[in-house]
Structure 1
Amino acid sequence: MKNLIIVESPAKARTITNFLGKEYKVIASKGHIRDLPKSTFGITIDDETGDLVPKYSIPRDANPTVKELKKLAKEAETVFIATDEDREGEAIGYHIAKAIGKEPTELPRIVFHEITKTAIQHALENPRKVDMDSVDAQQTRRLLDRIVGYKLSPLLASKIQKGLSAGRVQSSTLKIVVDREREIKAFKPEEFWTIDALFQKDIDAAIYDYNGLKIDKLTIKTEADATEIVTSAKGESFTVISIEKTKRKTKTPPPFMTSTLQQAASTQLGFSPKKTMMVAQKLYEGVKTDKGTMGVITYMRTDSLNLAKEAVESAREYIKTTYGDKYLPTKAKNYATKSKGAQEAHEAIR
């Protein structure tokens, strides 16, 4: 065995194995293999710099995987880190390298947004190094999780109520929910009435003015006022003078990112976010197709709206060939995400 490729998921490992020859061995880390210890705080402070120093350990259930990774890494000429291309995946790759006794920045790091033969081969031809900025970002998040949860949760449980917990995300979210609930409770309802008329099944109308008074949404305050207007209107005769027809252009929706995929799946299919991500994970890691087992969507955990240039060109060529130039825009549309922290190196889901 000349080359060892380490990915996160066993399903992904099986799919990639189908694309490569005998000179490659693909194995899964099955997620994180190093983490802060569960039984102790696991964070110290450097006496000289004052920096927070995490003390990582290998969980007991990850020991067999680490043992196998070490054995295969010794036998391989080259070890490729092929974990997911996000902050979490970058950190997992870093910890894998540490666990097998390698320097993370010296191992070739390969990334791909889709699990196809072409994408895997392109990734192997264009390796990079582990992105330590992303690793540091993930470690910072993990330390904050531990500091907030580990220190505050016992305090809440002992001083306020048993079973309460705190967390970097959950406590902030709770604050937003509480603030919103206070706004709802402080809201003072205001009575108003609206009047609509239906002249034909396809012609409906709303009242515009009454006795020279322009009618807005909150103009009719009481049921008595509404009844007076309705009674007056029933005694009148109406004529439709003209019907104006206008064309409305609907903009094409942007490609999916994680949040919008979950929203669409919930609205149209009734899927929970968890079910959506489980299905998307399977489609990404590989399913049986007429061309064999392969991934059929790109990476599903993304906040980017970018699309690969090759994918856009392929789609435009298909439109031109199948439907003709009439349906092909003069230039491809580009979308920009509104999130300041979006990982723009990623692709949207396609």
Structure 2
Amino acid sequence: MGKRLVIVESPAKAKTVNKYLGSDFLVKASMGHIRDLPKKSLGVDIEHDFKPDYEIIPARTSTVAELQKAAKQSEAVLLAADPDREGEAICWHLSTVLGAFNKNIYRVLFHEITKGAVQRAFENLRELDQNKINAQQARRLLDRLVGYLISPLLWKKIGRGLSAGRVQSIALRVICEREREIKDFIPEEYWSITAELKASNPPPFKAALTEIDGKKTKIKNEKSATAAVSELRNLPFDLEKVEVKEKKRNPSPPYITSTLQQDGFRLFHFPVKKTMYVAQRLYEGLEIGPKGSVGLITYMRTDSVRVSNQALSWARKYIRQNYSEEYLPEKSRIYKNKRKAQDAHEAIRPTTLSLPPDAVKPYLAKEEYNLYRIIWNRFIASQMSSALIEETVFDIKASKYKFKAKGEVIKFDGYFIL
């Protein structure tokens, strides 16, 4: 019997997966999608149930020929593209062009590229998920219909070179509506007053004016603000009330795709495309010295904050080993997904506790290390104790004017330690 042919999307992923499989497997890359709608025509039969007319992507002709030859010589074909709609569609297109060369075609699903996850996946072969395939096709056909049918209308009515799209046209409408709201907004002048005060002990502190004659402060013009300041300069300021309370700051859940993209931009000024490119590399596998190619994070396209019991267990073990017991809650933190979350994949997290950021830093590019570090810290922090904050609120009175000042002291840093 021949080897079993395993097909993934990229050479990097092929290299990492191959490391965990034995000599009975041959791992090859499809280089992404192998079929698509034709570029020079609509490729969708609107009159016959929107039937698509797919063709081999010209740049993938030699790849398809190579895969067909390998499939013919193999015992079975195992399709191991990413566990999402696009991955399922890639597998479906592969099964279509390879079906004549090998009838034994199966789907393999894993959400992290680790030895355990890969081996478990290959012990549980599946059929293709037609619902995911249909969902991807619906999106692809809508992309084509909107782009090819509406863009020419824009050329005729507005100007050449404009394009319409399933997503971009809706996004443009949202931007336009928001811009109209901004233009229609009527600004109202307001003034705020802050007093810099000194007590018997340093340091000086600032207090904001919050009430005048028992009513919420509303100073509408410079004249009123100047008059209030002039009056305040000659008044004594008396401490009326001190309130001390303890607050908890709880850690955030592990990253999902959108929150990772937001922090990628906020912390490193990465465009969304760069964040996802770097995350894809961390997922598919990078060379980590003598360990070879290692997938460092779980699948990065997810809307779920769910974490496996195994990962929760090793996160707690890591916290216990590297911090004191007070940094570990009594039980694992379980976060709730938003109501509309699909929950198809786990949250984005590291795949192993044996590779903290500092251990892999010498082997990663700067952007890879930065993104891995925040994924690691966010996940570990999500399982740590809350920070305890002591907040002190000072109510200060000067005749009819009431000021407030706030101060915070960290009593226990908890997850802030990261």
Whether TM-score is above 0.5 comes out as yes
Higher-strand-fraction structure: 2
Residue 28 of structure 1 aligns with an amino acid whose one-letter code is A
Q: Would you say the 8 A contact 1:34–1:99 is kept in 2?
A: no
Tell me which residue corresponds to 1:307: 307
| TM-score, structure 2 as length reference | 0.77
Q: Would you say the 8 A contact 1:12–1:285 is kept in 2?
A: yes
Tell me which residue corresponds to 2:57: 59
Shift of 1:155: 1.5
Shift of 1:312: 1.4
Shift of 1:240: 3.1
Counterpart mapping for 1:1-350 below 5 A: 1-45=2-46, 51-101=49-99, 107-200=105-198, 201=203, 203-210=205-212, 212-216=213-217, 219-241=218-240, 243-289=242-288, 291-323=291-323, 325-338=325-338, 340=340, 342-350=341-349
Residue 343 of structure 1 aligns with an amino acid whose one-letter code is Q
1:294-337 per-residue CA deviation (whole Å, 9 max, x = no partner) reads: 11111112222221222112212333444465433233222233
Shift of 1:252: 0.9
Residue 215 of structure 2 aligns with an amino acid whose one-letter code is K
Residue 204 of structure 1 aligns with an amino acid whose one-letter code is K
SS at match of 1:108: strand
1:113-138 per-residue CA deviation (whole Å, 9 max, x = no partner) reads: 11111211111112222111010000
Distance 1:193 1:151, change over 3 A: same
Shift of 1:270: 2.1
Tell me which residue corresponds to 2:384: none
Shift of 1:96: 0.7
The whole-number CA distance in structure 1 between the counterparts of 2:254 and 2:273 is: 20
Q: Would you say the 8 A contact 1:97–1:103 is kept in 2?
A: no
The whole-number CA distance in structure 1 between the counterparts of 2:333 and 2:76 is: 40
Distance 1:155 1:45, change over 3 A: closer
Q: Would you say the 8 A contact 2:306–2:346 is kept in 1?
A: yes
Shift of 1:103: 10
Q: Would you say the 8 A contact 1:35–1:58 is kept in 2?
A: yes
| TM-score, structure 1 as length reference | 0.92
Shift of 1:102: 5.5
Tell me which residue corresponds to 2:375: none
Q: Would you say the 8 A contact 2:99–2:105 is kept in 1?
A: no
Q: Would you say the 8 A contact 1:98–1:104 is kept in 2?
A: no
Distance 1:125 1:292, change over 3 A: same
Residue 208 of structure 2 aligns with an amino acid whose one-letter code is A
The whole-number CA distance in structure 2 between the counterparts of 1:320 and 1:159 is: 66
More relative contact order, 1 or 2 (CA 8 Å, 6+ apart): 2
Q: Which runs of 5+ in 2 are unaligned?
A: 350-418
- Count residues with an aligned counterpart: 343
SS at match of 2:239: coil
Residue 205 of structure 1 aligns with an amino acid whose one-letter code is A
The whole-number CA distance in structure 2 between the counterparts of 1:191 and 1:226 is: 11
Shift of 1:16: 1.4
Q: Would you say the 8 A contact 1:156–1:164 is kept in 2?
A: yes
The whole-number CA distance in structure 2 between the counterparts of 1:271 and 1:237 is: 51
Q: Which runs of 5+ in 1 are unaligned?
A: none
The whole-number CA distance in structure 2 between the counterparts of 1:105 and 1:256 is: 40
Residue 317 of structure 2 aligns with an amino acid whose one-letter code is E
Shift of 1:208: 3.1
The whole-number CA distance in structure 2 between the counterparts of 1:106 and 1:25 is: 15
Shift of 1:267: 1.1
Shift of 1:289: 2.5
Shift of 1:209: 3.0
Q: Would you say the 8 A contact 1:306–1:336 is kept in 2?
A: yes
Shift of 1:33: 0.4
Q: Would you say the 8 A contact 1:105–1:129 is kept in 2?
A: no
What RMSD over aligned residues (CA atoms) do the two structures have, in Å?
2.1
Q: Would you say the 8 A contact 1:42–1:56 is kept in 2?
A: yes
Shift of 1:220: 0.6
Task: Write out the 4+ residue segments of structure 1 that deviate beyond 6 Å after TM superposition.
Answer: 103-106
SS at match of 1:245: strand
Identity %: 49
